[in-house]
Structure 1
Amino acid sequence: MNNKLEMLRIFSVAAENLSFKETAVKLSISPQAVTRAIKELENLQGELLFHRNTRHMQLTHFGHRLFDKAKPLIKEFDALFERNAEEANEGLAGKVRIAAPLGFGRSVVTPIVVQLLKKYPDINIELMLSDKRADVVEERIDIGLRIGFIRDNRFIVKKIGQIEFFVVAAPELIQQLGSPQTPSDLHHLPTSSVLDPGTGRTWPWYFKSANELHSFNSRIVFDDAEAEFKAALDGLVFAQVPSFLANKELNNKTLIRVLKEYDPEPWTLFIYRPQRGPVPKRVRVIFDELVSNISNSGI
């Protein structure tokens, strides 16, 4: 047995119990392993540690001295790992900064974060919702969510879902103006657009086969996808909206999908974290929780 600390541990338990059999039971090892460890330790020390006969067993004078020295050393060693375990649990405390797109963050991420705060009371979360692309270094982002694509190969990136986009309108607006049969029919209907905060221009509407339709004379322009969605729900406009906003109202039939055969390819939803090296336990835990909850949310 090459592990001298383990020999000392076996010896200490044997010294406390004065029985190799009880020592084996307490340490979940064989009696032969106990005997072997004591013999090796005696050889290393050049002294007998126990006086033994068929009935009795007691420590030698040298055994007493070694036990007195070994006991606090083993206790200190065990305490070291107890502290490490406590520190590991303490790792589930502190701040985690999460960046997410505005509409997706409000609709999907915020309810999940509320539940995580209840589950992990010592973790504080800063949830930064914006349609501007976050500067992960300057803003000290721990975890980010992004729809579309990620080109930065410094990130740890995981695909966790797909976002569909539907053209929708309220039933009363369709009843009043009719349903478009092709994307070009939208030029003659009231539509809405959303500003891209990065460019200041309106986002194009996307359709099947990567066709884009830019030139709508939008009746109203928003800087917030949720506000655009509300305008469609109120019967003001036809709008192209993401599935995480539309699904509930489509199921309730308060919105109607049109131009289904022209729906664009779904966009990929990514979760990422910038660090490739050691990552705090709280960040790893929240990252995994977001992956699990969003993947199972049916967005």
Structure 2
Amino acid sequence: MNRLEALRVFRVAASALNFREAATRLGVSPQVITRVIGQLEAELGEPLFHRSTRGVRLSAFGASLAEQAAEAIAGIDRIFETREAGEPEAIEGVVRIAAPGVLGRRWVVRALAPLLAAHAGLAIDVRLSEVVADVVDEQIDVGVRIGPMRDSGLVARAVSSASLHFAAAPSLLERCRPHDRPSLLAAPAVLMIDRNSGRPWPWMFADGQHAMPSRAVLTTDDPEAECEAVLSGIGIGQLPGHLALPHLREGRLVPLLEDLRPAPSTIYVYRTRRLPVPPRVRIVYDALCEALDACEGPVPLPAG
């Protein structure tokens, strides 16, 4: 029997001042009461009861312990009473989120506003980076990731797709309009740096092949800077849909060679497998899943 249960037995025995009566109240044998009291006395090094032929009475130490035990047990019972009474669990504490920069700034932060307004005890720590987060070392509770989820220690939900589009500004296409893969790769290009390797990302194609453009006129490690460079007519870019699609729909960018673009990747929202899942983590996880469900939306594009 653990210490908490032993204190519960002692509290009943101290109230009854009769081991047989205490046993009846607890639904156990008198021998169990005697054994538990003996174990407590041995562990604490003090007698809890004075025994005589006329019965038992609490020792001074036992009387003091009875008061302490009653307070301790009442405190522990209060912890569980709200759950047992069906009262809602408090949404409070810190949730740490990891996400790619653009998705984080444009969708994650927006999704958090109503949660923070509704739950005064909730606090969010958002870490934005194009580098895949180390969930354990960085103590991430909820994250967003584009591409394969290979970590079996995570619970992940596929929430949306992440498309890639070859695109250029109309001003650039007045000077240079590629019509096939070789001419696309020979055109002025804006490239993204892979922060994990420090090298530019090659462009990906529908047949699964990767190729590096031969004329990289601007490289950057920031997706929004990449998109801005393409909008400015500096070069052609392979842009993520959540950045490119608004500009493609409004005509500020023109899609190129849509038949060559690769199949979309998957956007996942994940959390750790730690159980139980704290209410604050669960509510943030569900909110991000809902917010990112349509981060690209339908893709009606003009002909490229």
TM-score normalised by L of structure 1: 0.69
Q: Cα deviation per residue 1:240-280 (whole Å; 9 max; x = unaligned)?
A: 00110011111111111011111100001111111242111
> Structure 1 residues 284 and 104 mapped into 2: Cα distance closer, same or farther (>3 Å)?
same
3-state DSSP class of the match of 2:167? strand
- Structure 2 residue 216 is the aligned partner of structure 1 residue 247: no
Instruction: Find the counterpart in structure 2 of residue 93 from structure 1.
Output: 92
SS in 2 for 1:191: strand
Check conservation: 1:107, 1:244, Cα contact below 8 A.
no
RMSD: 2.3
Q: Is the CA contact 1:195–1:223 (under 8 Å) kept in the aligned structure 2?
A: yes
Query: Aligned to 1:225, which of 223, 226, 242?
Result: 223
Residue 292 of structure 1 deviates from its aligned partner by 1.5
Partner residue, 1:115: 114
> How far does residue 113 in structure 1 lie from its aligned partner after superposition?
2.3
Q: Distance in 2 between matches of 1:79 and 1:129?
A: 40
Q: Deviations over 1:33-88 (max 9, x none)?
A: xxxxxxxxxxxxxxxxxxxxxxxxxxxxxxxxxxxxxxxxxxx9x97765337996
Equivalent position SS for 1:97: strand
1:105-184 matches, cutoff 5 A: 105-177=104-176, 179-184=177-182
For 2:206 and 2:294, how far apart are their aligned partners in 1?
A: 27
Distance in structure 2 (CA, Å) of the matches to 1:187 and 1:210? 16
Are the structure 2 counterparts of residues 87 and 96 from structure 1 closer, same or farther at C-alpha, using a change threshold of 3 Å? Answer: farther
Q: Aligned with 2:183: secondary structure?
A: helix
Aligned 8 A contact 1:98 1:144 in 2: yes
1:282/1:180 CA distance change after superposition, 3 Å: same
Within 1, Cα distance between the matches of 2:78 and 2:89?
16
Q: CA separation in 2, counterparts of 1:85 and 1:296?
A: 38
- 1:266 aligns with 264
Q: 1:206 aligns with which of 204, 220, 223?
A: 204
Aligned to 2:280: 282
More helix by share: 1
Q: Which residue of 2 aligns with 1:67?
A: none
Which residue is equivalent to 2:103?
104
Name the % identity.
34
Which runs of no fewer than 5 residues in structure 2 stay unpaired? 1-73, 298-304
Query: Which structure 1 residue ranges, 5 or more long, are not aligned?
Result: 1-75
How far, CA to CA, are the matches of 1:242 and 1:89 in structure 2? 40
**Structure 1 CA distance for aligned equivalents of residues 256 and 247 of structure 2:** 14
2:97 corresponds to which letter in structure 1? I
Tell me how far apart the structure 2 counterparts of residues 119 and 173 of structure 1 sit (CA, whole Å). 48
The Cα shift of 1:294 comes to 1.4
